[in-house]
Amino acid sequence: MRGIVSAAVITTLLLFLGVHNAMGGDAMTKDIHWLGHDTFRITGQKIIYTDPFQVKKKDIADIILITHEHRDHCSPEDVRKLQGPATVIVAPADCAGKLGGTIKTVRPGDVIEVQGIAIEVVPSYNTNKQFHTKDRGWVGYIFTVNGQRIYIAGDTDHIPEMKKIRADIALLPVSGTYVMTAEEAVKAALDIKPKLAIPMHYGSIVGSKDDAKRFAEALRGKIDVQILQEE
């Protein structure tokens, strides 16, 4: 009868909406938690932390990825809050020397597997400033969780190597001063072409949410951007 929607139609609509949601940014980020600055807690097959800094809660990480030795990325006291007997730290050699426990030292170009997680090590450096020079061998990472390739860029500018990076989710710095500006990060995102970009490296030492908003606005209609709430 007119005006009556059958249970089958309703079920079909709900299934469609569910599938649509599953492909959206919220579904892609349900296991990605931004803890401020460049610190993310990513859950899936393993619990992975990136660049732990000013961590508020103790936890046990399976893997800790550290991009370089600056204190807001390689913080021994924060790493200790997350270490358990089986925790593996992945870090450049100059950072690894500050830490204890099980450490895997890496440099750009390495491809490794840690506790079943595939990790590609990529360059991360400045091109128009001297805070993170290429000769230091500092890094970003591409790692696969729940079938998603996640790229954390580290403290970097928009560099030529980004044209070769393929990732489903890109975690990109946007604050300028020590890293890319929001506008430079837009160019990086367009090179990488992720399904989803998440801005980071703001709201703590340098930068503000305005940087994240400018980044998102400039990519509107080109690449999906999600600004995560700090946890």
pTM for the model stands at 0.87
Q: Is there a contact between 115 and 46 (Cβ–Cβ < 8 Å)?
A: yes
Whole-number pLDDT of residue 30: 87
Chain centroid, CA 164 distance in Å: 17
User: Which token pair is 93?
Assistant: 């050699």
Average pLDDT, the chain: 89
The rounded distance, in Å, linking the Cα atoms of 89 and 83 is 9
The rounded distance, in Å, linking the Cα atoms of 111 and 101 is 21
Class (C level, CATH) for 30-225 = alpha beta
Burial of 8 (0-12, 13-18, 19+ CB in 10 A): exposed
Q: Which of 7-11, 40-44, 115-119, 199-203 has the lowest mean pLDDT?
A: 7-11
Residue 165 has pLDDT above 50, yes or no: yes
Strands (E), 7-166: 32-34, 40-42, 48-50, 63-65, 88-91, 102-105, 111-114, 117-123, 139-145, 148-152
Residue 13 has pLDDT above 80, yes or no: no
Give residue-wise pLDDT tens across range 74-111: 999 999 999 999 999 999 999 988 999 999 999 999 99
Residue 7 has pLDDT above 80, yes or no: no
